């Protein structure tokens, strides 16, 4: 398993994320070709920031203001892998939703509708896809402090659109003093929100394979203005297909408390949480809370389970073997009310054959809300397209 860990040392912006992934080992030819196809030939150079070598990406673009449809149309014309194009479209959909939340329905993007943002997003997404990682995690993101000049005027840092994106993603933030200015841009926030797949408190353990640094525009004398990306691989022999199982019975907690406990455990790195109604001693109705976690996480998650529910005892069943299917994610296109949407579908593979196709529900819900149709209809359409693609590939 290969895990990409983002360390936003001094915030996050589109050019910094793209530069860090290039420095990490992303396919430079693919990335520059993708950026060139939407704007022009980018400039990629090596600079230093407070003594740290980093990759600087300059799109050489000019300002512009476009509608979301115009931005998506340009992204779809990019010379990039289909998965990268789908990811980039979702990044801009996140930005559009945030802009709408802050400003109401707006015809145009401004700062994030410019050519440089389009090139940075498609470049970063192409870079990530070329690395072939299995999961992405991030440290808390410094957002800065003070104010920033925008098309709409002088705004507090983080900009309202940036804050809306980070709020929806659940990525933790670090505020700085007023003099820091804007450290995390809407583009940077949307890229992290789309790319990160692991919870903030997920346990990361592995061998450091590579590290890359992306440079911000300014060079401060004492603080490296960089975004760091670290590639981790499992230590050979350190992991097998085993999990630990934690169980406890609770008869004195409300449904609200049990639901909150489940969310807390998942955010802390549990692989799965199952709540089962049961009948306990003296005929009392209660809950069986079952937690599946990685070996080594049992003690930490048991403490959370005890604090959240007040239970006095937790059964810890160690080293339970599990069957793990291979997984492939494919991007499919569906059309609703004349508008085309990209939906990722996770396909489960066993013995070389696909036996399950499930649309990613977070994207299904987003498309359903935008198209005003039931979520189950969006999922059905996406999964049908995925199954047709699977059948075409079958011998």
Length of the chain: 395
The two three-digit tokens of residue 346, written as one number: 């996770």
Q: Which pLDDT belongs to residue 83?
A: 86
Domain stop point among 321, 350, 384? 321
Gap between the Cα atoms of 87 and 75, Å rounded: 10
Same structural domain for residues 67 and 171?
Answer: yes
Same structural domain for residues 143 and 183?
Answer: yes
Same structural domain for residues 316 and 351?
Answer: no
* pLDDT digits (tens), the chain, 395 positions: 788 999 999 999 999 999 999 999 999 999 999 999 999 899 999 999 999 999 999 998 877 778 888 899 999 999 998 889 989 999 999 998 888 888 776 555 655 557 889 999 999 999 999 998 888 999 999 999 998 887 767 889 999 999 999 998 889 999 998 888 999 999 999 999 999 987 676 667 788 999 999 999 999 988 999 999 999 987 444 445 678 899 999 999 999 999 999 999 988 888 899 999 999 988 899 999 999 988 778 888 999 999 999 999 999 998 777 676 767 778 899 999 889 998 989 888 877 788 999 998 888 998 999 999 999 999 999 999 999 988 887 65
Q: Which pLDDT belongs to residue 391?
A: 86
Same structural domain for residues 257 and 279?
Answer: yes
Residue 144, strand partner residues: 175, 182
Same structural domain for residues 330 and 317?
Answer: no
Same structural domain for residues 296 and 201?
Answer: no
Q: Which pLDDT belongs to residue 237?
A: 41
Same structural domain for residues 97 and 178?
Answer: yes
CB 48: neighbour CB atoms within 10 A? 14
* 3-state helix/strand/coil string of the chain: CEEEEEECECEECHHHHHHHHHHHCCCHHHHHHHHHHHCCCCEEEEEEECCEEEEEEECCCCCCCCCHHHHHHHHHCCCCCHHHHHHHHHHHHHHHHHHHHHHCCCCCCCHHHCHHHHHHHHHHHHHHHHHCCCEEEECCEEEEECEEEECCEEEECCCHHHHHHHHHHCCCEEECCHHHEECECHHHHHHHHHHCCCCCCCCCCCEEEEEEEEECCCCCCCCCCEEEEEEEECCCCCCCCEEEEEEEEECCCCHHHHHHHHHHHHHCCCCEEEEEEEECHHHCEEEEEEEEECCCCHHHHHHHHHHHHCCCCCEEEEEEECCCCEEEEEEEEEEECCEEEEEEEEEEEECCEEEEEEECHHHHHHHHHHHCCCHHHHHHHHHHHHHHHHHHHCC
The two three-digit tokens of residue 127, written as one number: 């870079």
Q: Which range marks the domain in which residue 363 is found?
A: 326-393
Asked if 146 and 178 count as a contact pair (C-beta separation under 8 A), the reply is yes
- Omega within 30 of 0 (cis) for the link into 158: yes
Q: Which pLDDT belongs to residue 363?
A: 87
Domain stop point among 170, 198, 233? 233
Asked if 240 and 251 count as a contact pair (C-beta separation under 8 A), the reply is no
The two three-digit tokens of residue 243, written as one number: 């999990």
Same structural domain for residues 229 and 198?
Answer: yes
Domain stop point among 185, 208, 233? 233
Number of domains in the chain: 3
Place of tokens 């579908």: 345
CA dihedral 183, 184, 187, 188 (to 10 degrees): 100
CB 136: neighbour CB atoms within 10 A? 18
H helices of 250-374, where?
A: 255-267, 298-309, 361-371
Q: The domain spanning residue 294 has which CATH number?
A: 3.30.70.1380
Same structural domain for residues 266 and 134?
Answer: no
Same structural domain for residues 24 and 142?
Answer: yes
Q: Which pLDDT belongs to residue 63?
A: 73
Q: Which pLDDT belongs to residue 110?
A: 54
Same structural domain for residues 59 and 100?
Answer: yes
Same structural domain for residues 282 and 353?
Answer: no
Residue 66, strand partner residues: none
Asked if 3 and 232 count as a contact pair (C-beta separation under 8 A), the reply is yes
Output the pTM of the full model.
0.64
């Amino acid at each position: 398993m290969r895990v990409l860990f983002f360390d936003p040392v001094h915030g996050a912006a589109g050019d910094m994320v793209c530069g860090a992934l290039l420095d990490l080992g992303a396919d430079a030819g693919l990335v520059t070709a993708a950026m060139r196809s939407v704007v022009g030939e980018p400039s990629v150079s090596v600079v230093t920031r407070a003594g740290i070598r980093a990759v600087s990406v300059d799109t050489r673009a000019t300002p512009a203001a476009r509608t979301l449809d115009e931005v998506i149309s340009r992204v779809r014309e990019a010379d990039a892998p289909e998965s990268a194009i789908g990811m980039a479209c979702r990044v801009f959909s996140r930005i559009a939703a945030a802009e709408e939340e802050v400003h109401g329905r707006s015809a145009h993007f401004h700062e994030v509708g410019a050519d440089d943002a389009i090139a940075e997003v498609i470049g970063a997404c192409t870079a990530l896809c070329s690395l072939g990682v299995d999961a992405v995690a991030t440290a808390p993101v410094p957002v800065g402090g003070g104010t920033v000049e925008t098309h709409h005027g002088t705004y507090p840092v983080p900009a309202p659109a940036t804050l809306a994106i980070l709020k929806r993603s659940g990525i933790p933030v670090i505020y700085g003093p007023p003099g820091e200015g804007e450290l995390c841009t809407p583009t940077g926030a949307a890229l992290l929100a789309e790319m990160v797949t692991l919870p903030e408190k997920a346990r990361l353990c592995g061998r450091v394979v590579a590290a890359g640094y992306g440079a911000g525009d300014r060079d401060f004398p004492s603080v490296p203005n960089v975004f760091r990306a670290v590639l981790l691989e499992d230590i050979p022999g350190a992991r097998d297909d085993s999990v630990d199982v934690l169980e406890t019975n609770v008869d004195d907690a409300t449904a609200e408390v049990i639901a909150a406990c489940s969310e807390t455990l998942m955010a802390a790195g549990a692989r799965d949480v199952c709540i089962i109604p049961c009948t306990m001693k003296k005929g009392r109705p209660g809950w069986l809370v079952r937690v599946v976690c990685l070996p080594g996480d049992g003690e930490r998650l048991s403490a959370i389970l005890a604090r959240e529910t007040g239970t006095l005892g937790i059964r810890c069943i160690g080293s339970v073997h599990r069957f793990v299917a291979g997984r492939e994610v494919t991007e499919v296109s569906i059309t609703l009310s004349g508008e085309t949407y990209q939906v990722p579908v996770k396909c489960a593979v066993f013995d070389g054959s696909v036996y399950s196709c499930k649309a990613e529900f977070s994207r299904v819900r987003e498309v359903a809300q935008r198209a005003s149709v039931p979520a189950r209809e969006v999922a059905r359409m996406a999964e049908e397209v995925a199954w047709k693609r699977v059948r075409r590939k079958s011998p």
